[in-house]
Amino acid sequence: MIRFLLERLLQAALLLLVVAFLAFVMFRFAGDPVAQMVSIDTTMEDRTALREALGLNDPLPTQFAQFVMRALHGDFGLSYQLGRPVAALLADRLPASIELSLIAFGLALLVGIPMGVYAGLKPESWLSRAFLIFSLAGISLPTFFIGIMLILIFGVELGAFPTFGRGDTVDLGWWTTGLLTPSGWHSIILPACTLGLFQMTFIMRLVRAEILEVMRSDYIKFARARGISKTRIHYGHALKNTLVPVMTIAGLQLGSIIAFGIVTESVFQWPGIGLLFIQAISTVDIPVMSAYLLLVALIFVSINLLVDLLYFLVDPRLRMSSK
Amino acid sequence: MTLLSIQNLTVEYPGRKATFTAVRDVTLTLERGEILGLVGESGAGKSTIGTAIMGLLDRPGHVAGGRILLDGTDTTSIPDLLGARVSMIFQDPLTSLNPLYTVGQQLVETLRTHHRLTPPEARGKAVDLLDQVGIREPETRVDQYPHQFSGGMRQRVVIALALCSDPDLIIADEPTTALDVSVQAQILDLLCNLVKERGVGVILVTHDMGVIAQTADRVAVMYHGEVVEEGPTQQIIHAPRHAYTQSLLAAVPRGDRKLDRFPSLSYAPIGADVQTAPDLSLTSTWLRSKAPDVGTGASTKPLLSVKGLGIRFLTKNAILPRNRRYVDAVKGVTFDIARGEVLGLVGESGSGKSTVARMIAGIHPPDTGQILFDGQDIAARQGSHDRQALRRQIQMIFQDPFSSLNPRMRVRDIVAEPIHHNRLAGSGAETQKIVGDLLTIVGLGAAAGDRFPHEFSGGQRQRISIARALATRPRFLICDEPTSALDVSIQAQILNLLKDLRDALDLTVLFISHDLPVVRQMCDRVAVMQKGQICELSETERLFETPQNAYTQELIDLMPSLGPA
């Protein structure tokens, strides 16, 4: 178990190092950083001095080592466009993205799993068919379209929900949350539905397929033959056995909605990291882009590590083989 | 009072084109403390009767007629039928336990479903039950997960689960088919003791006549959904009246003496593959025209010679080599096979017999030892051309006819593939001619080539596998449990075919099986494997009559037999 954990941590560290190298290369070679920092009338001497001062004449490995060291200390340099430290920018924006993603993800799980279980247990019923048609729509409609339609119906026509922004937020010092104010909750509903719909239909289809598979297995037949109640069989025996594949996919999905909620954040002008990234691209703000790249890798690696650990909780066979 | 009474039971499966009647007008009775054997070949409807009693028929199957009475009450009107009055034991102990819960959790859950017990009481009862089914150290075992138990131990757990509710009737559906003979004997003993002690009635569903002979009090023989004969076990086995029972018994391979051929079913089963004896005169043409590389002069030397063969598998990986753990799957295996000989390789699951076959076939490279084929080292010949020429002469027939044929290829292409690969035919037309001949030889007829594997039954598919293996004009065949997935009557046909082919083509065969009676019928010499090593190797008759090794003796004693004939 501990060995497995160490192995995984080592892999994660290696992966992050590779991503860091990509970020570094982008930073170093996509345009001349000095040219971006100085004005047109700076003399050549001043430029050379600046280049020397910034360590840009050092050998490449040294520069990379310095980049990694700075990144480890949370120093990603200054944003070209905003002139503020990138780390501070991200720290400002991250809570908004994480809150939105977690609410969307929770919504997807809470609705998607029961729907999937139902559709898996009663594949013939009309409700299951309705779920499937609905999920097809959820998977095939593009996110921006769903967002715009929700804004049009609930925001503009009915006026029930705000159409942009986070509403009032409360600053906890290290975290700004919109979840402590009524207007914050009001504002998060539409974007969370937009972001979660695809995940929900995805999880529903996955759970349905797994349940169909598990219900055919011998141990379910045997449990029925022993007279175990239906509820116990469905939610105790069957659902637990579907969890491992569902967890894997759900974990990847959570990573991708935190990192790539860009479309939703744009549509709802949600002040998260996705919006920051879009702005960074349009202004070629390379420090922000490279920091974002690292952050995304970190999110994915951590979530996958967490999912791997959850496997151990769910499946005793894995616990044994790793001892 | 009669425990179970089945009256004129008919079970139907309505289909799109026609209604399939799985069980037709079956009447059976069972007393307390009695074991009723239900035998028949696959598709005879024996398992359907079990599931019909439980009321667990898969849709759209349903009881179309008749009644099932338990203690005089119709089973459909007994509310706590499942588990409480009737329990079931399934065939495969590896899949009938939920892998994510401990054995204790599953026992406690079942106990508390049927009795008013507090969790600690239920746990205590669970430990008792494990003890009763012969699991040692039940106190510690109860908290373990199913994967920590061996196959036989899991089947004991399954039986304990079936006993949770003190049932009156236990339906055991092929309870020992997936187990080794030694474990099978233990499980059958356990079942018999439970019947004596608790006075439950047992319906034992099986295809294995040997199991029935050892265990059942009465037998009902099923054929195509109908009970063709019913009576006391001794009478059915020694004086069967119905023609089907007679031919079924005749087809059971005998462990007690060697016969020339397997008696095939004289009672023609409807829909089963009935093949006339293949016309082997065809073999005089292409199959006999062997390549000149056959060394005829060296015929006194063994064709295949295996020396000190060994392979180990990693069981626990570690960064430091000294911390790694290995298991010796095969260790120091040495044997020769003479030209035209059939060598049997027997042993229980995990003894390494299939691994030996895979190494000879070149699927696994061995870690130690040498494999000489016709005097040439198989591993040493690296040149791809030479190597392929050598490999071409060694072909393998696998156990499972359902997974060893590519479902998306036509039979003709399946059989033609090795011919193309080895460039054995000059033209496409010649290939088609050869494929047609091969399919005729194995008794399917050339027209079978146009169809897909799923259109064939298990026995027919095994014939396709044989045709495919013959397509490279091999001199050496490895048969890895070629008939263990088949019914006895089909098994007899396939084994007869293999015998005929061996005689006609001078094939040398390595025949792997766990089924001792089959081995006695098929092989000239037999090697017994235990824990990766050969513990005895001698002439078949000598091995069966006067086994030298204690383990061999044990295996032969455990061999299910029909009793003195």
Q: What is the mean pLDDT of each run of 10 residues along chain A (323 residues)?
A: 80 88 76 67 78 74 82 78 82 87 91 90 89 87 87 84 79 76 84 89 91 87 86 87 85 82 86 85 80 87 86 76 46
Taking 70 as the threshold, does the pLDDT of residue B264 lie above it? no
Q: Hey, what are B188's tokens?
A: 């059958």
How many angstroms separate the CA of residue B98 from the nearest CA in chain A? 5
Give the three-class secondary structure for B232: strand
pLDDT band at B350 (very low <50, low <70, confident <90, very high): confident
Q: Which residue has the tokens 């178990």?
A: A1
Distance CA A145, CA B511 (A): 65
Predicted local distance difference test score (pLDDT) of residue B345: 92
- Considering CB atoms only, which of A227, A236, A314 is closest to B82? A227
Within 8 A of A222 by CB-CB distance, chain B residues are 88, 90, 96-97, 158, 161
Is there a contact between A162 and A123 (Cβ–Cβ < 8 Å)? no
Distance to chain A for B55, nearest Cα, Å: 9
Instruction: Give the 3-state secondary structure of residue B284.
Output: helix
B303 with B475: CB under 8 angstroms? yes
Distance from CA of B317 to the nearest CA of A (A): 10
Which of B 121-180 lie inside 8 A of A, CB atoms?
145, 147-148, 158, 161-162, 164-165
DSSP symbol at B401:
T
pLDDT tens readout for residues B484-521:
777 887 888 888 888 888 888 888 999 998 888 888 88
DSSP code of B285? T
Q: Best mutation site among B81, B96, B163, B203 for testing chain A: the one with the most A CBs within 10 Å?
A: B96
Share in percent of chain A as helix, strand, coil (round to 5): 75, 0, 20
Contact A222 B99 (CB under 8 A): no
Longest dimension (CA), chain A: 88
Model pTM above 0.95: no
Cβ contact B102–A223 (<8 Å): no
Which residue of A222, A224, A230, A318 is the best one to mutate when testing the B interface, meaning the one whose CB has the most B CBs within 10 A? A222
> Domains plus CATH for chain A?
2-72 (no CATH), 86-321 (1.10.3720.10)
Calculate the alpha carbon distances from A193 to A176, A296, B367, B527 in Å.
21, 22, 59, 68
- Cα distances (angstroms) measured from residue B193 to each of B96, B134, B148, B181, B185: 23, 11, 26, 18, 12
CB contact under 8 A, A222 and B164: no
Segment B15-26, tens digit of pLDDT: 777 788 888 889
Does the interface predicted TM-score (ipTM) exceed 0.90?
A: no
Question: Helices B103-114 and B151-163, interaxial angle, to 10°?
Answer: 20
Question: Is the Cβ pair B114, A227 closer than 8 Å?
Answer: yes
Q: Beta-carbon neighbour count of residue B152 at 10 Å?
A: 19
Chain A residue with minimum CA distance to B89: A222
Q: Where are the domains of chain B?
A: 291-393+476-558, 405-472
- Check if the beta carbon of residue A119 is closer than 8 Å to that of residue A111: no
Give the confidence band of B477 by pLDDT, cuts at 50, 70, 90: very high
Residue B479's pLDDT is 92
Q: Strand B325-337 and strand B226-232: pairing?
A: unpaired
φ, ψ of residue B436 in degrees (nearest 5): -60, -45
- pLDDT of B459 above 70: yes
Q: For chain B, what is the largest distance between any 2 Cα atoms, rounded to a whole number of angstroms?
A: 81
Nearest CA in chain B to A312: B100
Cα distance from B102 to chain A (closest Cα, Å)? 9
| CA-based nearest distance B83→chain A, Å | 4
Average pLDDT value over all residues in chain B = 83
Q: Which residue of A has its CA nearest to B101?
A: A316
Q: Identify the pLDDT of residue B288.
A: 60
Across the interface, whether the CB atoms of B98 and A224 are under 8 A apart is answered no
Average pLDDT over residues B322-343: 85
Higher-confidence residue: A227 or B320?
A: A227
User: So what's the pLDDT on residue A204?
Assistant: 92
Output B56 or B235, whichever has higher pLDDT.
B235
Are B369 and B360 in contact, with CB atoms under 8 Å apart?
no
> Are residues B187 and B156 in contact, defined by beta-carbon separation less than 8 angstroms?
yes
pLDDT of the residue at A106: 92
pLDDT of residue B295: 45
Whether omega before B482 lies within 30 degrees of 0, making that bond cis, reads: no
| Average pLDDT score over residue span B75-90 | 79
Which residues of chain A lie closer than 8 angstroms to B143, CB-CB?
none
Residue B234 has pLDDT above 70, yes or no: yes
Cα–chain center distance at B90: 16
Contact B343, B335 (CB under 8 A): yes
Q: Which helix (H) or strand (E) holds B173?
A: strand B169-173
Predicted confidence at residue A154, as pLDDT, reads: 87
B137 pLDDT tier (thresholds 50, 70, 90):
confident
CATH topology of domain B291-393+476-558: Rossmann fold (3.40.50)
Cβ contact A227–B165 (<8 Å): yes
β-bridge partners, A52: none
Q: Mind listing the pLDDT tens digit for each residue in B284-300?
A: 456 665 544 444 444 56
pLDDT at B297: 46
Residues from chain A that touch B54, judged by Cβ atoms under 8 A, are 225
pLDDT of amino acid A7:
84
Q: Which residues of A104-119 are buried (b: 16+ CB within 10 A; e: fewer)?
A: bbebbbebbbebbbbb
CA B357 vs CA A110, B345, B480, B511: distances in Å: 52, 9, 7, 9
Looking at the DSSP assignment, which residues form a beta bridge with residue B533?
A: B530
pLDDT at B118 over 70: yes
B108-112 average pLDDT score: 90
* Structure confidence at residue A31 (pLDDT): 63
